[in-house]
Structure 1
Amino acid sequence: MTLDVRAPVLAAAADLIALSHSIHAEPELAFAEHRSVAKLTELLGARGFEVRRPVAGLDTAFTAECGSGELVIGICAEYDALPGLGHACGHNIIAAAAVGAALALAAHADALGVTVRVIGTPAEETGGGKVLMLERGVFDDVAAAMMVHPGPLDIAGATSLALADLSVAYTGKEAHAAAAPEQGRNAGDAVTVAQVALGLLRQHLEPGQQLHGIVSEGGVAPNVVPAHTELLYYLRAPDADSLDRLRRRADDCFAAGALAAGCTHEVRVVSPPYAELRPDPWLVTAYREAALDLGRVLLPVEMERAHPLGSTDMGNVTTVLPAIHPVIGLDTGGAVTHQPEFAAACITGSADAAVLDGATALAATAAALASDPAQRARVLDGVASRSRGVCG
């Protein structure tokens, strides 16, 4: 079945680009993306989608559906921004492309026998919105999920690293730093020792493992021995097993700081663990063909695993059901994600083209899936197996 999914995207181009720019102009942080959700759901509701908000007990999560086919296609929208940097990860593009793909599929929903579900997922940068929504049943009947992320390159089979998001709080004892330092227990020293230990650990990390962090609380005044400090750290690894090994080594470094400084410490998980991306091979191939048809120049297949993204809660989705998270390229002038220059690039003409091409490629991928009897049966069987509690 050959369907024109490009025409509905182009017909909505002005609205999609305006949506992308509007979200970009008003960046909102994790779990507080109220204006962005209103903009997305208003447009989808006006186009005939049935909107539910909030969902999964999350104020800024939503779903919007059109069609009644047995094959449920989930198109994930992200819209949270970064502190101080705004949309330096291009989530405005992700959100607008998701809406565009949904509109294109909705135009052919009856012919394809699909239900199109836009899944509005908050707190990707920190907080794990998709993890929470996955655990709370939002993806239970979804046969395949997809989204597209902007970047400097086009990558069909994008991969990512597993992530642990940690807070490490140290507690010591205040004292006058000059008059009675011997009375204090310096939580700042605990942070210093822990960071030195982590720095030395880097020599012995396994391939693909990473760790990086900041001091989020370091004391109140130079003449007061710090009694309360905090580290925020990300640990990353190629997969969950490697991440577990790294976590054990890092925990020893955190504990070393407390022991050396005579303090206590507490390690707290800030976000649910993010799994590595495991893109579905068939969907990746279908997306690659769609992107090539649009004139996109994609990173060669043999180089994809050498260019992992950071980490994403979409990885957790890919461990449960067939899903993809390709990268749509735009001209960033050499900037990469999480840089101010990348944020500026996300409302250029190249970014607007990425919105339209990303929407078209996702819609074409979903249409190809729905039109292929064998693949359609495969993903529907997956839904049935999950409902019976059978792991895939």
Structure 2
Amino acid sequence: MPSATASTIVEDVVQQRRGDLVELSHSIHAEPELAFVEHRSCAKTQALVAERGFEVTAGVAGLDTAFRAVFGSGSLVVGICAEYDALPGIGHACGHNIIAASAVGTALALAEVADQLDLTVVLLGTPAEEAGGGKALMLDAGVFDDVAATVMLHPGPIDIARARSLALSQVAVEYLGREAHAAVAPYLGLNAADAITVSQVAIGLLRQQLAPGQMVHGIVTDGGQATNVIPARTEMHYTMRANDSGSLRELEARMSDCFLAGAVATGCGHQVEATEPSYLELTPDKWLADVFRAEMVRFGRTPVAAEFEAALPLGSTDMGNVTQVMPGIHPIVGIDADGASIHQQAFAAAAAGPSADKAVIEGAVMLARTVVELAETPAQRDRVSQLKAERDRA
């Protein structure tokens, strides 16, 4: 009998660990935790690879819920990103439990062929994707420095092999005025709530002139404390998105003028502060994405045609920061959510359903086989290794 190929081995490993991986997904789903405090989810994501013999380093980049788990000592170092943070109020409505479990499955599968493929497998626990930019912080801290290529997947309502995302930045805008009695002497006050109103009117008018791909959305987090007191302090948070970083910088400048308008019109002081690192746009590696697309088709999935992928950006992710630095992919693996999309309660419910379990297993297989293909294709292995060497020299 011929010996099993690496691609066959990794698929078999995932199928053998099916029960453990689905259990992991459901366990994380059942105990949703927010950005930077995903302590239980982080520990759960480490457990199976630690048992397999991965060397786990916790608290990397100074983040309590970030980790690196390493297996093997091969010349090609491949990273697999696991996310596990949830959303306030709606839990795992982005399906990060699926991401974590599929990443663990990929890592366990590749560990079985690491020596055969001259591979080092690095499972990266990356917190705070929904708010906080864990991957950006880990990049800056050097956690990805030895990695030549990075893969992960994300659940969604449809299958997209070469998924794109928007560049993003988020700010907190504070207005400082002067309190006064709203009936007795309102003329003595400087109304910080009015500053927000003026700013939001300016932003509403700006929307007509936004470039394609640019968008803004925000909330008021402090609008005052009592109706009979002119508010002396207010605050709002705004998110800005654009197709690429250059367009985002242009949008930020225009939004800055809108924030200033509120202060000028009311006489209030104001300050604008970034609330987290900027998220750069995804630039998925075409070769890796094409291999993953073939894997989707092999499983009977119907990914969006390549010519339409660029027209379907799905929000923003700090994985974009990673793909700006090295070859990587962030495909969308479809689950049945009865018409719901990410960040909806119905999607959170679906993220622990049968199609989500299928996405965990098939997703892990597809990612693992994509990495195997990379390791076994000399030209592509050389390409990512050369890009890594150029990063090291820069």
Short-chain TM bin: over 0.9
Q: Deviations over 1:170-228 (max 9, x none)?
A: 11111111111111111110111111100000000001100000001111011111111
AA at the equivalent of 1:132:
L
- Residue matched to 1:3: 7
Could you tell me which residue of structure 1 aligns to residue 64 of structure 2? 59
2:266 corresponds in structure 1 to 261
Cα distance in 2 between the residues matched to 1:84 and 1:187 = 29
> Deviations for 1:7-43, whole angstroms, at most 9, x for unmatched residues?
1111111111111111111111111111111111122
Indicate which of 176, 183, 189 corresponds to 1:178. 183
1:193-342 residue pairs with structure 2 within 5 A?
193-342=198-347
Query: What letter corresponds to residue 7 of structure 2 in structure 1?
Result: L
1:167 maps to what in 2?
172
Give, as a single letter, the amino acid of the residue that structure 2 aligns with 1:381. Answer: Q
Residue 277 of structure 1 and its aligned partner are, at CA, apart by 0.3
Helix, strand or coil for the counterpart of 2:174? strand
Q: Which moved more, 1:103-112 or 1:2-11?
A: 2-11
* C-alpha distance after superposition, 1:300-330 (max 9, x if no partner): 1111111101000000101100000000000
Q: Give TM-score scaled by structure 1 length.
A: 0.98
TM-score computed with the length of structure 2 as normaliser: 0.98
Question: 1:2 Cα deviation (Å)?
Answer: 5.1
SS in 1 for 2:389: helix
CA-CA distance at 1:47 after TM superposition = 1.8
| C-alpha distance in structure 1 between counterparts of 2:362 and 2:35, whole Å | 27
For structure 2, list consecutive stretches of 5 or more residues without a partner in the other structure.
none
Question: 1:40 pairs with 45, 49, 60, which one?
Answer: 45
Distance 2:44 2:324 in 1: 30
1:108 CA drift (Å): 0.8
Partners in 2 of 1:47 and 1:283 — Cα distance? 27
Structure 1 window deviating more from structure 2 (217-226 vs 2-11): it is 2-11
CA distance in 2, matches of 1:225, 1:83: 31
CA RMSD after TM alignment? 0.8
Secondary structure, in 3 states, of the residue corresponding to 1:354?
helix
Corresponding position of 1:23:
28
Tell me if 1:121 matches 2:126.
Answer: yes
CA displacement 1:91-138 (0-9 Å, x = unmatched): 000000000011111111111110110000011111111001111111
Aligned counterparts of 1:59 and 1:151: Cα–Cα separation in 2 = 28
* Number of residue pairs matched by the alignment: 389
One-letter identity of the residue aligned with 1:342:
F
How big is each residue's C-alpha offset from its partner over 1:217-256, in whole Å with a ceiling of 9 and x where there is no partner?
1110111111111111100000011001101110000000
**CA deviation vs aligned residue, 1:253-296 (integer Å, no higher than 9, x gap):** 00001111110111000111111000001111111111211111
> Is 2:77 the counterpart of 1:93?
no
Contact 2:172 2:274 in 1 (8 A): yes
Residue type matched to 1:78 in 2?
Answer: E
CA contact (8 A) 2:6 2:113 kept: no
Letter in 2 for 1:43: L
CA distance in 1, matches of 2:161, 2:174: 40
Q: Is the 8 A contact 2:178 2:190 kept in 1?
A: yes
1:381 aligned residue (365, 368, 386)? 386
TM superposition shift of 1:3: 2.5
In structure 2, distance between residues paired with 1:182 and 1:149? 54
Q: Percent identity?
A: 60
Match of 1:348 in 2: 353
